[in-house]
Amino acid sequence: MDAQTLLLLRRATYGPTPALIAEAQKLGRNAWLERQLAPESIKDAYTDKILQRFPRITWPIARIRTEFAQHIGTWDVMIDLTRATLVRAVWSERQLFELMVEFWSNHLNVTCPSGDVWDSRADYDRVIRQHTLGSFADLLVAASLHPAMQSYLDNTSSTKDHPNENQGRELLELHTVGVGTGYTEDDVKNSARILTGLGTDGSGEATYRPPRHFVGPVQVLGFSDSNPTAAGGRDVAIRYLNYLARHENTARQLATKLCLRFVGDSPSAALVARLAAVYLANDTAIVPVLRELFNSAEFAASAGQKVRRPYEDLVATVRILGMKPDATGTEGIESLHWMILDMGHAPLYWGPPNGYPDVAAAWQSAAGTLARWNSHLNIAARWWPTTLTGPALTAMIPKPRPATHGALIDALSERLLQQSAPKAQQVAICDFLTDEGHRITPATPIAKDSPAIGWRLPYVVSLLLDSPAHALR
């Protein structure tokens, strides 16, 4: 496979698989990308069937409240949602869509699980999914008015006499124009005033309460409104959100974050400017921006510039090993969830409203590296989770069997990492395989009873997955 297509697969998915590589080779790079940008055209029946094991994530707010009437604040549905999110990342055919769902869930973060959104967080996920590859303006309005966001950022308690500035501030700082772009404390106060009246009602649904809405002139950056009546306050808020979505600083902030996600930790100013211009020229539509990004010279030159975070590393490991979920039930999926919880990067779990960081420096630690390496061996050896299904590791060994240990390591590297194993890596793994009195080198022949293709094969596989090549997006 050519290097550019492989780079696209590593960045626009949670990790290549043999089937994914074959599909991209058959379709060609551009056709594969266009297919991913139109996820409704991709059948995903296998993943849909797995998701049936988590039926509660489809429940509307009213049913969740009814079913758990005696357990107000239960986290059961939210935990189901995080596990279903993991399922989609690992097994969905709509890989770029799932990456963008994660991107927007992070950008418009509502921590899951958290107590205030026990009844609404699953519905919020559906709203994110509905608008993920649509327009950001529509997504911003839908997310900002949703009961989960209203509760998470405390706007439901905001009144005209005592505006709660939390959502008004985060809307500017995190969701749209960004910190340091010229807004003032007066802008924050007016932002909060505009949002007064919005909130939730006793049923947990979104509502608008005119008596709580601040009435009078409001101005934030270049937006102004006479805001003359309480009855029209919701419309003022929607106009304000649409204004912010189309602001040039919002365009730059979103372009920067997309570059951080897909290109590199130090985005090119020229690429950010071009993506922002495409965003504004297409009235906040997301697909044209992604198309420009993935076809840019900066993206083409970005190999080696992004490191997988723990969640992405775990998902990529499960995908490349060809693991499938439990034949029935969810024990193995739950085990993967516990594994990534221990690594500090479970989907949707980030506590503050700013979302998980997406630069390598934020995830570098000896403990984090050790946790990744342990997960590679646990999954490869089937030590934990024990109930996932999938092919035996021996199925990765080419036929006819490689003649030497070096050839075996190289063949496994091609299968797992889509590249040959450097000589130094072959030597290091052979040193690991060396027993007392039995020296192993890359030239040592592979016999039918060689431990490297028997009980020590999981170690060879995990050592390859421990390499920098697997750590890179």
pLDDT digits (tens, 9 = 90+) for 12-24: 999 999 999 999 9
pLDDT of residue 356: 98
pLDDT of residue 469: 97
Give the mean model confidence (pLDDT) for residues 187-201: 97
Helical H runs in 119-164?
121-131, 136-145, 147-152
40 pLDDT band (50/70/90 cuts)?
very high
pLDDT of residue 69: 85
Mean pLDDT rounded to a whole number for the chain: 97
Give the mean model confidence (pLDDT) for residues 190-214: 97
- On the question of pLDDT at 72 being above 80, the answer is no
Q: Where are the domains of the chain?
A: 3-245, 248-300, 394-471
Question: Identity (one letter) of the amino acid at 163?
Answer: P
Nearest to 336 by CA among 312, 308, 315, 316: 315
Per-residue pLDDT of 446-457, as tens digits, reads: 999 999 999 999
Largest interatomic CA distance in the chain: 88
Q: Are the C-beta atoms of 389 and 327 separated by less than 8 Å? A: yes
Task: Decide: residue 108, CB within 10 A, 0-12 exposed, 13-18 middle, 19+ buried.
Answer: buried
Element (H, E) at 208: strand 206-208
Per-residue pLDDT of 357-374, as tens digits, reads: 999 999 999 999 999 999
pLDDT of residue 5: 97
Specify the pTM.
Answer: 0.97
Angle at which helices 269-281 and 248-262 pack, to 10 degrees? 120
- On the question of pLDDT at 438 being above 90, the answer is no
pLDDT of residue 437: 75
